[in-house]
Chains A and B, each alone.
Chain A
Amino acid sequence: MSGFEIVFSGRPIPVTPGQTIGAALHAAGIRSWRTTRVNGRPRGLFCGIGVCFDCLLTVNGESGVRACLRVAAPGDEVTPS
């Protein structure tokens, strides 16, 4: 099966089917997509398996999605949480 794209803040990101959104972003060189509440610091993947909640983002309007768990679907619109 050939690849597809998702959109991160207006930018197309290539995806190999079956990859998570977090993996696709990381592979595209995007290492952070969230800023923290208190200090405004950047965060991206940390634990990679859904336990640290550092990788939260918004997918098609749904907030609080763990990027490392959510498998990307064609056309997903992804924005920072």
Chain B
Amino acid sequence: MRYDLAVIGAGPAGMAAAGAAARGGLRVALIDGAPRLGGQFHRQPPPGAGPPSQDFLRLRDRLTRADLHLGRRVWAVEPGFSVHHDGGTLTAERLLIATGAHDRVLPFPGWDLPGVLTAGGAQALLKGNLVVAGRRIVVAGTGPFLLPVATGLAAAGARVAGVFEASHRLGALARHPARAVQGAGYGLRLARHRVPYHRGQAVVAAHGDDALTGVTVADIDRDWRVLGTREIACDTLAVGYGFTPQLDLAVQLGCATTRDPDGTPVVAVDAGQRTSVPGVYAAGETTGVGGAELAELEGLAAACAVLGTPLPERLARRRDRAREFARLLHEVFPVRDGWRTWLRDDTLVCRCEEVPYRDIEDARDLGATDARSIKLLARPGMGWCQGRMCGYAVARLAGEDPPPPRRPIAQPITLQDLAAHPRRSPDVP
């Protein structure tokens, strides 16, 4: 069967879009690599282990007329549109890319030790598995996301030794009424669990032989250079420096990209979430990191555009406000290049290929002037994760903003599954 719309990604953006499009009478497929609906924000606990959230149920209950293809990882999309996943191929007239984002990480000495997790990773363990990542946890990085992570862990019984927010001032954010209230809510919860919150501080090293035993926390200046340090004992570090949108599928189709205010590549869309490629839409974090509420509104806007109905004025205004707020967050929580001074010669920059900082410098010395040639000479980004973890750092080390990712294979696929592609070129007679 050929669908009217295939939605890739079942987070708030994809769920909202698929629900609205299906209720509008379209044949809709909703595809996600995860076995359960929800994406990151609405990640659900194991079935039966706790009640789903009201917001999740509201989105889920609208999906009765959509076909769900869960546990299906999409490795490629082709014009027309064919969506190739690890269980086969489905086709659709139109496509919505709502593949979300992953944590943006920075290298620092010891970040490869077991016990160091991304902030999102700790959150996913808790939300999706009811597993508290550790006993004594440090939360560090930058961005508003650190707050729900810290309060969630503390409420679940962990001792959170502190939240270390690298950014110095909240600036214009403090004047944003609605968010100031929400921020104060987190503040109260942090206080209730006696979690200290520090600005202008960062974890600049992690320690331990085969597992994490502590971290070095530093006061940092406005460019994130170390001013003074102290050690804190902990068995777990949850660290994240914002998010990197997952653009692989959009880039495969040739969708034009633009950049978030902080230089991150995102899919370029119009008010109806249309990309530059006719028939392809994008919503949620793929079009710019802005959180779950904005993702959901963008999903609705995409569904309206596909259905040819206008997005209700009220929702359009909410979306514009959420976008404006997202822009503000980018201003308040930028990543400053001073993190480079945290690196030692032997600090791994690429975790997969185990490329130390020294090798990156050697490659530059050999004439590698951009991120791509550093990769060709020293191999960062050549391993399993294909640069998802080190891509930002390597680009910044080369003095660039990260380029849009070119990954013709968006998820690993076995050779036998690749060989089974429906349009395999016939063998030469």
- CB <8 Å contact, A39 and B354: yes
Q: Inside 8 A of A56's CB, which chain B residues have their CB?
A: 384
Partner of A32, one of B48, B114, B130, B131: B114
- Size category of the A interface is 35 or more
Chain A hits for B114, CB < 8 A = 31-32, 42-45
B203 within 8 A of A: no
Residues facing B in A18-66 (CB within 8 A) are: 18-20, 23-24, 26-27, 31-32, 36-39, 41-54, 56, 64
Which of B32-40, B51-59, B279-287 lies on the face that meets chain A?
A: B32-40
Q: Please, which residues of chain B bring their CB within 8 A of the CB of A64? A: 412
B388 at the interface (CB under 8 A from A): yes
B interface, by DSSP: helix, strand, loop or mixed?
loop
Number of interface residues of B (CB under 8 A): 42
* Contact assessment for B131 and A47 in the assembled complex, using a CB-CB cutoff below 8 Å: no
Q: Is there contact, CB below 8 Å, between A69 and B33?
A: yes
**B35 contacts A71, CB within 8 Å?**
yes
Instruction: Count A-B pairs with CB separation below 8 Å.
Output: 107
- A46–B351 touching, CB < 8 Å: yes
A32 to B47, Cβ gap below 8 A?
no
Chain A residues in 8 Å Cβ range of B210:
32, 42
In the assembled complex, the CB of A37 is this many whole angstroms from the nearest CB of chain B, namely 7
What's the minimum C-beta distance from A4 to chain B, rounded to whole angstroms? 12
CB < 8 Å neighbour of A45 from B36, B125, B353: B125
Q: How far is the CA of A48 from the CA of B210 in the complex (A)?
A: 19
Q: In the complex, which residue of chain A has the Cβ closest to the Cβ of B389?
A: A52
Listed in ascending order, the chain A residues whose CB lies under 8 Å from chain B are 1, 16-20, 23-24, 26-27, 31-32, 36-39, 41-54, 56, 64, 68-69, 71
